[in-house]
Structure 1
Amino acid sequence: MYITITPQKLGGTYSQSSADFVGYLEKENQGLEQEDMEYFFNQYSDEISAKDVIKEIDENTAKLKKIEPKFYSITVSPSKYELNRLQNSSEELKRYTRELMKDYVSSFNREINGRPIGIDDIKYYAKIEHQRTYKGTDFQIKENQPYASKILQLKTDIRKIENGTMTGNKDEKEKEIAKLEREAPHQQDGKRIVQGMAKSGNQSHIHIIVSRKDASNTVSLSPGSKYKASETEMHGKTVKRGFDRDSFFEKAEKTFDKNFGYHRNFAETYQARKDFIKNPKIYFAALMKLPTNEKALAFKMMGKAGVPMMPSIPVTQGQLAMKIFKGLRRGVEVAIKSSSIGI
């Protein structure tokens, strides 16, 4: 499970309207018949129009400054292993979203009128998407880049030969291009993976737009708070504040596992990935204690995500060379950002 929470920005400033972002999320509906479209939904309603989403989000921004986010984007990307557990991606992910947003509100250290905030205190809209394309940050694109650069240069040379500004054998250069296309390390359906190419397989994921202000348009709720849980004085009153991202991410996995009977591998857990980044020695020590089958699956998952693997993982902590783990850590950070292995 890979979950991100981001304030929406246009360049260096926060978006003053949700129109552009909502329009972006409508891209998959272009050219589809009405019965095939994916609509926005919230906790209680389905088939909400993009126009209504924009209106509701944009009008729920009382007293927010231009330098403050008006809304946040939550993207939830289940891994292929998690998606394989689902029978009906759209309907089951919709059900999961509604449970996930309960986890979201419970992760706030906030009160409204003396009570903890609940699901009815937030204003959000979500949409299921089924397609993804390769981005420049994906490890497949990065590792194919040397081949892409050579191919581009050869194509430039061919154009020069054709217009007479360069001498050379066009056929030989075309053969070299074909050879590089075949040798590129990452292929999909027999073709070199390039930026913008649609990813194969089940790519279903969830986009959620959640207003910065509560449903009453009076209380500010920021999941970007630097505080997990604290108190501050405001207008002469003690006010709780904070959002616990660690708690939210952990609840998100548990909710998925409980709802769909999913057995989460060690390598998929938020805590394990967090340990890898902060203390790889502890991570690999725990990994080596797993039963053989679970350990094999963990390595398979890491490999699929582009995490660099050592030929053999040392068992004792004394053998864990830190310079190797620094490289591994960098690899995992890239993989977490460009795939669906991490939260």
Structure 2
Amino acid sequence: MYITITPQKLGGNYSQSSADFVGYLEKENQGLEQKNMEHFFNQYGEGILAEEVVKEIDGNGTKLKKTEPKFYSITVSPSKYELNRLQNSSEDLKNYTRELMKDYVNSFNREINGRSVTIDDIKYYAKIEHQRTFKGTDWQIRENQPFATKILQLKNEIRSIENGSMEGSIKKREREVANLERQAPHQQDGKRIVQGMPKAGNQSHIHIIVSRKDASNTFSLSPGSKHKASEVEMHGKNVKRGFDRDQFFDQAEKTFDRTFGYQRNFAETYKARKDFIKNPKTYFASLMKLPINGKAIAFKLMRETDIPIIPSIPTNQAQLALKIFNKLRKGVDVAIKSSSIGI
């Protein structure tokens, strides 16, 4: 389970309207019949039109400055193993979203009129998507890049020969291109994986747009707060503040596991990923303490994530730790820089 929370930012300022983002989320509906379309939903309703989402989110940002986010995007991406637990991807993920957003509000250390924040205090809209494409930050694209660069060079040479600005054999270069296409390490359905190619298999995931302001358009509820659960004195009063991201990500996993009866391996947990980044020694020690079957599943899961590890596992534990950490941390750094608030 990978969850990111991202403020929508353009240059130095934040998006003043959700229209572009909502339009982006409507892309999968293009060309589909009405019965096959996925529409926006919230805690209590379904079939919500994109125009209503834009109107409600844009109209709920009173007194927010251009330097403050008007809304946040939450993306929830279950793994293929988690998706396999679902009976119906669309309906199950909708139900899960509604439970997830309860975890979201419970992670705020805020009070509204002397009470804790509840699900009815937030304004959000969500949408299920079933497709994903390979991006430039994906490790398959990065590892295929040397082949892509050489192929592009050869194709440019072919065009130069065709227009007479260069001499040489077109057929020879076409054979080289064909060989490079086959030799690229990452293939899908017999073709080299390239940026923009749709990913195979079940790619269902959730996009959520949540307003920075509460449903009454009065109080600011920022999941991007740098403060966790704490209190500060303001105007002579103790005021609660902050959003506990650790709690939210951890509870999101527990809610999924409880809802769908999922048996989560150590390598899939948010705590494990955080330990890997913050305290690799603790991460590796926990990994080594797993029972044999659990350890085998953990390494299998690690190989199949978007962060690659070495193809063969050395038996020496020190060597194993060094190679895994060096390889994985490079991938994690890229993922963090290209995503969101995250870990």
TM-score by length of 2: 0.94
Distance 1:331 1:313 in 2: 23
1:37-76: CA deviation from partner (whole Å, max 9, x where unpaired): 1000000000000000001101111111111100000000
1:273 deviation in Å?
Answer: 1.1
2:67 aligned partner, one-letter code: I
Equivalent runs, 1:116-265 vs 2, <5 Å: 116-265=116-265
- Tell me which residue corresponds to 1:268: 268
Whole-angstrom distance in 1 between the partners of 2:319 and 2:210: 47
Letter in 1 for 2:72: Y
The whole-number CA distance in structure 2 between the counterparts of 1:260 and 1:93 is: 10
* Secondary structure, aligned partner of 2:128: strand
- 1-structure distance, mates of 2:9, 2:82: 30
Q: Which amino acid aligns with 1:260?
A: F
**TM-align CA RMSD:** 1.9
Paired with 2:136 and 2:94, the residues of 1 have a C-alpha distance of: 29
The alpha carbon displacement at 1:333 in A equals 3.7
CA drift at 1:321:
6.6
Quote the Cα distance in structure 2 between the aligned partners of 1:304 and 1:57: 37
- Cα displacement (A) at 1:35: 0.9
Deviation at 1:23, TM superposition (A): 0.5
- Cα distance change of structure 1 residues 33 and 327 upon mapping to structure 2, 3 Å threshold: closer
Contact residue 109 and residue 240 of structure 1 kept, 8 A:
yes
Aligned counterparts of 2:84 and 2:335: Cα–Cα separation in 1: 21
1: CA distance, partners of 2:324 / 2:123: 46
Tell me if the contact between 1:307 and 1:335 (Cα under 8 Å) persists in the aligned partners.
no
Q: Between Structure 1 and Structure 2, how many residues are aligned?
A: 339
Deviation of the 1:284 alpha carbon: 1.7
SS of residue paired to 1:67: coil
Q: Identify the residue that residue 312 of structure 1 maps to in structure 2.
A: 314
The percent of aligned pairs where both chains have the same amino acid is 77
Cα distance in 2 for residues equivalent to 1:66 and 1:165:
52
Indicate if the aligned counterparts of 1:308 and 1:331 stay in contact, CA closer than 8 A.
no
Q: Secondary structure at the match of 2:225?
A: coil
- Report the residue type matching 1:214 in the other structure: D
**Whole-angstrom distance in 2 between the partners of 1:307 and 1:152:** 25
Residues 335 and 15 of structure 1: CA distance in aligned 2, closer, same or farther (over 3 Å): closer
Of residues 8-17 and 248-257 in structure 1, the stretch that sits farther from structure 2 once superposed is 8-17
For 1:303 and 1:249, locate their aligned partners in 2 and report how far apart those are by CA, in whole Å.
Answer: 22
Q: What is residue 67 of structure 2 aligned with on the other side?
A: 67
Tell me, in whole angstroms, the C-alpha distance in 2 between the residues paired with 1:307 and 1:235: 52
Q: 1:311 offset after TM fit, Å?
A: 2.9
1:326 CA displacement: 3.8
CA distance in 1, matches of 2:267, 2:97: 23
Aligned-partner residue type, residue 205 of structure 1: H
Contact 2:309 2:324 survives alignment (8 Å): no
Q: Which moved more, 1:298-307 or 1:22-31?
A: 298-307
Aligned partners of 1:134 and 1:194 also within 8 Å: yes
Segments of structure 2 that go 5 or more residues without pairing to the other structure are none
Asked if the contact 1:8–1:71 (Cα under 8 Å) also holds between the matched residues in 2, the reply is yes
Distance 1:129 1:153, change over 3 A: same
| Residues in 1 aligned to 2:233 and 2:203: alpha-carbon distance in whole angstroms | 46
Listed one character per residue, the Cα deviations across residues 275-297 of structure 1 (whole Å, up to 9, x for unaligned) are: 11122222122212212222111
Distance in 2, Cα, partners of 1:80 & 1:333: 23
Structure 2 counterpart of 1:312, one-letter code: P
- Paired letter, 1:155: K
Residue 281 of structure 1 corresponds to: 281
Distance 1:90 1:268, change over 3 A: same
